[in-house]
Amino acid sequence: MTTFTTEDRIAALPLIYLDMDDVVADWMATARAIVNRNWEYGERIPESDWNKVKAKERFYRDLPLKAGAHELVQYCRDAVSNGQARGLAFLTALPHDDAVQFAAYDKVFWAHKHFEGIPVFFGPYSFDKYKHCRTGDILIDDRHSNCAEWRSAGGQAHEYRTWEACKPWLEQILTATKVAD
3-state SS of 56-77? Answer: CCCCCCCCCECCCHHHHHHHHH
How much helix, strand and coil, in percent to the nearest 5, is found in the chain?
45, 15, 45
What pLDDT is recorded for position 76? 98
| Residuewise pLDDT in 10s, the chain (181 residues) | 555 455 656 678 999 999 999 999 999 999 999 999 887 776 778 889 989 999 998 999 999 999 999 999 999 999 999 999 999 999 999 998 878 899 999 999 999 999 999 999 999 999 999 999 999 999 999 999 999 999 999 999 999 999 999 999 999 999 877 655 4
**DSSP per residue over 119-147, as a string?**
-EEE-SSGGGGGGG--TT-EEEES-HHHH
- The domains found in the chain, sorted by start residue, are 6-175 (3.40.50.1000)
73 Cβ partners below 8 Å, 6+ apart? 18, 24, 88, 115, 118
